[in-house]
Amino acid sequence: MPNSQQNATFPATAHVLCVQVGGGRSSRQDRRRQARELRAAVRRTPAYQTARRLHAVLDQVGEEGLAVAFFAPAEMAVACATEVAGALLGRGETRFMVGVHGGPVRRAEQVADTTRVEGPGAGVAHDVMACGDIGHVLVSETTAAGVMGTSEWADALSDIGLVEVQPGLPLRLFSLVRGDAGNGSTPTRVKQLASTRRALRPTHHLPTVGGRFVARDTAVADIAGRLETSRFVALTGPAGIGKTRLALEVAERLRARRADGIWVVDLSGACGPSDVAPTIARTLGLLHHDSEPLLDRVALYLRDSDALLVLDGCENVADQAAECVESMLGACPRLHILATSAMPVGARESWSVPGLASPASDADPVLLRDSPAVELFERRAYEADRGLRLTEAALGAVADICAAVGGSPLAIELAAAAAVHTSAEEVRASLREYMARRDHARVDTTSATVVWAIESTSESDQAILRCLSAFGGAFSMPAAKAACGSDEIDPTDVAEGVRSLAQRGLMAESDEAGRYRLSGPVRAHARTLAERAGESDLLRRRHAQYFGTCARQELQAAAGDVDRALEWATEHDAEVGLRLATNASELWHDRGEWARTARWLDALTAKRDGVAVGLLAAALTARSRARLELSDPAGALRDADDALAHASSLDDRGGVALARRAKGQALVSTGSAEEGMRYCEEALASLRRLDRHEEAAVTAAELAAASMLAGDAEKAMAHAVGGLRAGAGEEASSALLLLRGIAAARSRDYAHAREALGEALVVHRRVGAGRHEASNLLWQAELAGREGDHHAAALYHSERLHVLRRVGTRLDVAQALRSAGVSSRRGGRVADARRVAREDERLRAELDQPQEAARARLLLVDIAVADRNATEARHALSHAMAGRLKDSERALCLEALATVAHLSELNGEAAVLLGAAATCRDEGDVGETDALESLYADAAAMARGELRRDMGDDAYDRATADGQAMTLDAAIAYGRERLAV
């Protein structure tokens, strides 16, 4: 059978109706019979017969149902959908689904003189249908837009939300219910897809908080109100006073008002001022790029956002936090920030968090039990022991305890946990005695209670607590066991000790992943005890050694601890540090933190004396990769050669293979592509012989990318498919699947390209490969554009833009804005096009790219022309032509002048300007490879046709001849004078 894609007609827009009847395990023969009966029912509908008289309909039967393409207004397809549903219901058939979508299709000639409908419009229509349950009639936004303005259909359509009908293609779907036809419930698959999309795009980063919030509802309301007016509020007070919990409750209260999300940034474990911006970026999910200041990327991501940032635990980095806050508030006019700190952070409003109130111990028992401090004590005691209930006699003792600790929630919780093991009266006596010994009047009551609580535990629990003080942030149980050292404390005892310490309130579960965290006061005293015991160096060593061997997920969750471990290792043990930095380098590479890799490995390799040769080879290989990304191919090649020499001296075949791959990559980057690919191919063969499948798959991906760069799509496809067949893990598969899709697209095999890219996108998202996802969406947009589906292309570009705001540079975002703007303009999404073009203009100005800023304004001109808004078009054009422009931009301005003149009904002037513009294109001042240039070429071609029709051939030819005789400067001056711009 001939390739139908190659024998297809040029795509035309149609509204495609897909219908499927039946279900279950019917035979192939039954399905064909049902499809024939369905076709007969469709052909009897009035809408179909009307379209057939106009020669504007084409239908085809398949084993999965019927597809009908209406080359006519959307109303015919929608009417046919309801008529078909009504006809099926009339004959007792209820097991059917219907979907309608407008998009480009091709009439592909098949054997036996039959015609088949193909193309993205038909495929998406089927996927729209598949989103429904039995009885649903679903209509996509492209078709709904054609009927929503009519009274006949507007009330029959209900918006069921944005649904990703294909990977990367989110369409707004509508449920059509008219008479008995349709199903008014939300389809099950739509709910599932919406849930998946929400998981991919979390709008909140609020941790799960255990226990009911006690007694500060008035404070929550007050702080929430102040945030609305002030934008930056700081909760201040001593450690343990409840600032963090209060901030989280405020955030929870504001969740519904913050459509763009609430993000809690934990700065309590920051090692120093330089950690503030990276910690904020990591919390937001942004990748780091060494080519630009990280805070600029944070500001770009949040610029138009009404998000709330909660900066928790700023006291150790107060000055830098204050600077970051002021920078973000200045760049992001809708952003609000709530900070917690024991030190001033320059907030516009500060709210001092008081201790919890408690009446005197001889007050009425009802009054005592209802007081905030006693309520917290009783609730925490009950949570520790479900059978515990304070007696009236114990309430007075509890009130005394709360007063003694100044109403500090942390101290109250520690005392409550202790009361579970003794009694409230005994806790009061013990605390009073301890405070008396510590000179209560001169000591911080929270810190004193922490010391008292620690000293009340067993010696083994105290030993475990000292070990865990090495962690600055949250830690897992395996991390806890490693920190305690299996030679000194049995791993089983560590698990029991952690649970015991948690029961006593000395640590808490940090998240749903079963990680734990020490509060600041507890960690501080535990570290003091470790120093007194002479254990600090040993504990820091174990801490660093653990991160040198742990998995990627743990490294990602403990970024602050990784840096703290590297700081210690750089000073005390370079080998431990090299193992850790090399282990973390893959994660840093994927996050774009190549300078971080190079910086740590530079510091550690400078102290290489005595370091194991194999480890040094691995470190140099990692640094070679980082230097390559930092545009230092010569340095990358030196490191690869050194790594190869070290690995060869040990006969380390795996190390040699990886060093060869690094050298091959460096050679490709220096222009020695053939030699570089030979090194990579040798590395691939060695890794496969050694059964190192994942590393072999990564090498296959590198070879596929190099082949693509060399223009050999066939070889790229072979490497990609070979890597996948060899059993690549998901990380490598993400790259290989993407390259397979790109190779198919480069070979013009669009059907396979779409299939491969769709499969790849699912994997990119599952493994968090954001840069792969962005590249994939770019190619899907390109494919959609090539097939004439500019609406879909705009949606793909919009999805890509969302991804690049997290993983790309500001330049990446600017380029994505341009692509999204042009595609939205071509797809008829004028409001979206205008919005992104304005952001493009603003960002280009910030990046100091005046020529590109002018191009963004020229896009705004074209959008205004498409919107028939001459005033806006003239204003944008005047702005675009201000300043010094290169000839290529000035030539585009000339075409812009022509289109605006045409819009303003200055036909003679428009023809003159188009004649001059044609000369510029002939002379190469402007081409058609750039998306904006192509857009203007199409606009100029359309204007020429209309002007020739309206002016007549002779008048039009004379006017264009006049323009062709003009210089570029003269033509621009002529246009500006005639249009007064």
Domain ranges of the chain: 12-198, 204-352, 561-709, 754-979
Q: What pLDDT is attached to residue 386?
A: 61
Looking at the chain, the number of H-run helices and the number of E-run strands are: 46, 16
Q: What pLDDT is attached to residue 108?
A: 67
- pLDDT mean over 966-970: 93
Rounded Cα gap, residues 197 and 201, in angstroms:
6
Q: What pLDDT is attached to residue 445?
A: 86
3-state per-residue secondary structure call for 274-285: HHHHHHHHHHHC
For residue 434, give both structure tokens.
């301890």
Whether pLDDT at 348 is above 90: no
> Residue 850 CB: number of other CB atoms within 10 A?
16
For residue 385, give both structure tokens.
């022991």
* Bridge partners of residue 673, in order along the sequence: none
Q: What pLDDT is attached to residue 439?
A: 65
* Bridge partners of residue 117, in order along the sequence: 107
Find where tokens 């304004």 sit. 857
Q: Whats the size of the chain, residue-wise?
A: 981
Sign of CA pseudo-dihedral 576, 581, 586, 591: positive
Nearest to 584 by CA among 552, 606, 560: 552
Rounded Cα gap, residues 649 and 445, in angstroms:
62
Q: Domain 754-979 is classified in which CATH homologous superfamily? A: Tetratricopeptide repeat domain (1.25.40.10)
Residue 346 binned pLDDT confidence (cut-offs 50, 70, 90): confident
* Bridge partners of residue 310, in order along the sequence: 264, 338
Find where tokens 């900066």 sit. 311
- pLDDT mean over 44-48: 92
Residue 855 binned pLDDT confidence (cut-offs 50, 70, 90): very high
Residue 765 binned pLDDT confidence (cut-offs 50, 70, 90): very high
Q: What pLDDT is attached to residue 564?
A: 92
Coil, strand or helix at 204: strand
Q: What pLDDT is attached to residue 1?
A: 28
User: What would the pLDDT profile of 928-946 be if each residue is shown by its tens digit?
Assistant: 558 898 999 999 999 999 9
Percent of the chain having pLDDT more than 70? Answer: 94
Whether pLDDT at 923 is above 90: no
- Decide: 456 and 430 in contact? Cβ < 8 Å: yes
* CATH topology classification for 561-709: 1.25.40
Contacts of 904 (CB under 8 A, 6+ apart): 870, 979
- What's the half-sphere exposure (Cβ side, CA atoms, 13 Å) at 763? 21
For residue 598, give both structure tokens.
């190079």
Rounded Cα gap, residues 821 and 813, in angstroms:
12
- pLDDT mean over 29-38: 78
User: 45: exposed, middle or buried (C-beta count within 10 Å: 0-12, 13-18, 19+)?
Assistant: buried
For residue 842, give both structure tokens.
């603003």
Nearest to 912 by CA among 963, 838, 953, 974: 963
Residue 780 binned pLDDT confidence (cut-offs 50, 70, 90): very high
Whether pLDDT at 565 is above 60: yes
> Residue 493 CB: number of other CB atoms within 10 A?
17
Find where tokens 């409840």 sit. 242
Whether pLDDT at 112 is above 50: no
> Residue 980 CB: number of other CB atoms within 10 A?
7
Rounded Cα gap, residues 773 and 783, in angstroms:
15
- pLDDT mean over 276-300: 87
Buried b (16+ CB within 10 A) or exposed e, 73-83: bbbbbbbbbbb
Residue 442 binned pLDDT confidence (cut-offs 50, 70, 90): low
Orientation angle between helical segments 653-669 and 613-629, nearest 10 degrees: 20
> Residue 749 CB: number of other CB atoms within 10 A?
18
* CATH topology classification for 204-352: Rossmann fold (3.40.50)
Whether pLDDT at 713 is above 90: yes
User: What would the pLDDT profile of 606-662 be if each residue is shown by its tens digit?
Assistant: 998 889 999 999 999 999 999 999 999 999 999 999 999 999 999 899 999 999 999
- pLDDT mean over 1-30: 66
Buried b (16+ CB within 10 A) or exposed e, 708-741: beeebbebbbbbbbbbbebebeebbbbbbbbbbb
Nearest to 601 by CA among 633, 637, 639, 632: 639
Average pLDDT for the chain: 90
- pLDDT mean over 81-102: 91
Nearest to 471 by CA among 570, 410, 542: 542
The reply to whether 561-709 shares the fold of 12-198 is no
Q: What pLDDT is attached to residue 387?
A: 61
Q: What pLDDT is attached to residue 25?
A: 60
Whether pLDDT at 356 is above 80: yes
Query: Which CATH entry fits the domain spanning 12-198: 3.30.70.1230, 3.60.20.10, 3.40.470.10, 3.40.47.10?
Result: 3.30.70.1230
Rounded Cα gap, residues 127 and 139, in angstroms:
11
> Residue 49 CB: number of other CB atoms within 10 A?
12
Q: Which residue has the higher pLDDT, 365 or 860?
A: 860
